[in-house]
Structure 1
Amino acid sequence: MPVSQSSLRGVVIAFIAYAVFAFSDASVKLIDGAIPAYQVAFAGAVFGLVILPLIKAREDSWLDIVRTSNRTLWLLRFACGAIGSIASIITFTKLPMAEAFCLLFLLPSFVTILSVIFLKEDVRWQRWTAVIVGFIGVLIVLRPGFRELSVGHLAGAIGGLSAAIAIVILRGMGPTEKRMSLYGAGLLGVLVVSGLLMLSNIAIPTPMQWVFIASYGILGSAGNALLMTAARMAPANLVAPPQYSQMIWAILFGYFIFDDTIDLPMAGGIALIVFSGLLTLMRERKRGTPLPSAVVSPDAQASLATAEPEPDTRG
């Protein structure tokens, strides 16, 4: 198959994958906080186990899920998986979908900042400009001092930061770390932490809530599978940008299902945030570094679908 045709199919599949993620996020919002976030996260992680056979290479062992060359970073990714998953669920529960994505789309900016601090990456003025534009966009959307901020806004920032830390860990652990280990760290983090939290309080879902929980988990796993398929057909720099199509779904869901409204300042802020993210991805492409992919997914592992650990390329 010609490369161009394969890449086009990969991009189309990526758009479908991000649409599936958006439907999964809408399922969380439809639960409307009636079920604790950690219980929903646990269900999503259980469905995430379905993806393991797709990640496992022939030479891999199932024990590679817990094996690692750097236990400290593995445990940090373990913690980020749990925190990011629970925080993102709280974000979509408490905030309008478009506003939730605005905060979670700060992921590329967080990655840039953390890469400078911990990986000592050489970041030029173009990437710093993208970071500043992104934060200006968030300030326009949130308008602190003019609007009351909630726990949902805090959770959104924590979710984006946790995902960014996971991406930086992915880069820092290098090309020798197996995908089974990287995926297993985040997935086990959600299962263990959410499972422990569930011991103190387990809510019994209604039949309709079971449908939404199942939709969240099944669609999230399907989105990850589609994203990995897209990554095998097209390079990461083509698969990553379609993530911003999630904002279109968020606006549509918000308008037709959740009665959300978007005023002119918020629309402008959204545009700046999307521009910031795309500018960052363009700079990452030129530098040849692994790209962050899906901003949010039930198991917080979609970044593994399009970002293989690679040696850092400075410049």
Structure 2
Amino acid sequence: MFKGVLLGFACYAAYAISDAFVKSLHGSLPAYEAVFFGAVLMLSALPFIRRPGDRWIEVFQARKPSLWWIRAISGAICNIAAVIAFTALPMAEAFALIFLLPIFVTLLSVLFLKEHVGWRRWSAVVAGFLGVLVVLRPGFRALGVGHLAAMVCGLSGAVSVVALRMAGAHEKRISLYGAGVIGPLVAGGLLMLPDFIWPDARQWALLAGYGLLAGFAGVLLMLATQHAPANRVAPAQYSQMLWAIGFGYWLFGDRLDWPMLIGIALILGSGLFTLMREGQVTPWWRRTRLV
């Protein structure tokens, strides 16, 4: 259990560093290009994800094809939105809005999985959305496409999680990972064609850091969930906020005011409570694929 949780923290550290690499592009490349090349490099994790007996064609196949397509499409939207959010917003602010994901999962689980949600989790949902209002402060500060992209990222990520739950615990890992990579690769590749810019040496280095670290994080997550239940590994994702605040301050000169810190605390607290509470009341087969 302890080893699994440590691997979870290492996984989300790798994800946070990967996000710092893509933020360093500062919009010098279209988001679609970053998504495409990042997905190409994430394919490097497939030999480690693949289990003995898995066939390579299963990267593109699943027992429930409709859910594979939902995961691929939602993964494409999530990746593109994340790149836009990280290049447009301070890292901590982007993460705060993306971390609405567990709250969106709760709402979608009620709609599509007919899951019962008690007053405690509904209270966490309300607290999370109050945190969003505190962070955004509509009418008091300028809002941009980055804010919308971060929330779209959280929502599309939640759709992907619910699709995983609907797929059940017997879907092959190579299919689940494949959908999450092939979707962004195809969508990013098609959308980048009209305004393609050939990356320079610095941009290639940043793209390599972004894609390879994301693939490495996927392998670490697989190892983490082999040693500990997914609902014990999932809370480690909130350590990304510490990395985001540190990177934002030291690398990008981001500054957070007190209202934003209070809003971030509300969002993180409600999301973490939702994860922990879900581990107590949600049947195991619906939460094994949570991360």
TM-score (ref. length: structure 1): 0.88
Q: Say if 1:284 and 1:291, in contact at 8 Å, map to a contact too.
A: no
Distance in 2 (alpha carbons) for counterparts of 1:91 and 1:174: 31
Instruction: Name the stretch that deviates more: 254-263 or 58-67.
Output: 58-67
Q: Which runs of 5+ in 2 are unaligned?
A: none
Spell out, residue by residue over 1:246-302, the C-alpha distance to the aligned partner (whole angstroms, 9 max, x if none): 11111111111111111111111111111111111111111245699xxxxxxxxxx
Partner of residue 114, structure 1: 108
2:93 is the counterpart of 1:93? no
Distance in 2 (alpha carbons) for counterparts of 1:9 and 1:71: 34
TM-fit CA distance, 1:135: 0.9
Distance in 1 (alpha carbons) for counterparts of 2:62 and 2:203: 37
Q: Which runs of 4+ in 1 moved over 6 A?
A: none
Partner of residue 257, structure 1: 251
Question: 3-state DSSP class of the match of 1:148?
Answer: coil
2:147 aligned to which of 142, 148, 153: 153
Distance in 1 (alpha carbons) for counterparts of 2:117 and 2:258: 33
- Equivalent AA in structure 2 for residue 308 of structure 1: R
Alignment of 1:29-40 (within 5 A): 29-40=23-34
- Equivalent AA in structure 1 for residue 59 of structure 2: I
TM-fit CA distance, 1:59: 2.5
* Percent identity (aligned): 53
Q: Say if 1:11 and 1:230, in contact at 8 Å, map to a contact too.
A: yes
Higher helix proportion (structure 1 or 2) = 2
Judging changes above 3 Å, is the alpha-carbon distance between structure 1 residues 249 and 34 closer, same or farther for their aligned structure 2 residues?
Answer: same
Q: CA RMSD in A?
A: 1.8
| Greater relative contact order (Cα < 8 A, sep 6+) | 2
1:207 aligned to which of 167, 181, 201: 201
Judging changes above 3 Å, is the alpha-carbon distance between structure 1 residues 195 and 307 closer, same or farther for their aligned structure 2 residues?
Answer: farther
Judging changes above 3 Å, is the alpha-carbon distance between structure 1 residues 71 and 227 closer, same or farther for their aligned structure 2 residues?
Answer: closer
Instruction: Name the stretch that deviates more: 234-243 or 22-31.
Output: 234-243
Partner of residue 289, structure 2: 308
Number of residues of Structure 1 aligned to a counterpart in Structure 2? 290
Partner of residue 284, structure 1: 278
Partner of residue 224, structure 2: 230
Spell out, residue by residue over 1:27-49, the C-alpha distance to the aligned partner (whole angstroms, 9 max, x if none): 11110001111111111111211
Alignment of 1:65-104 (within 5 A): 65-104=59-98
- Equivalent AA in structure 1 for residue 35 of structure 2: A
TM-fit CA distance, 1:308: 3.4
Distance in 1 (alpha carbons) for counterparts of 2:28 and 2:14: 23
Judging changes above 3 Å, is the alpha-carbon distance between structure 1 residues 175 and 10 closer, same or farther for their aligned structure 2 residues?
Answer: closer
1:124 aligned to which of 108, 113, 118: 118
TM-fit CA distance, 1:177: 2.2
TM-score (ref. length: structure 2): 0.95
Partner of residue 165, structure 1: 159
Judging changes above 3 Å, is the alpha-carbon distance between structure 1 residues 291 and 140 closer, same or farther for their aligned structure 2 residues?
Answer: farther
Distance in 2 (alpha carbons) for counterparts of 1:291 and 1:141: 34
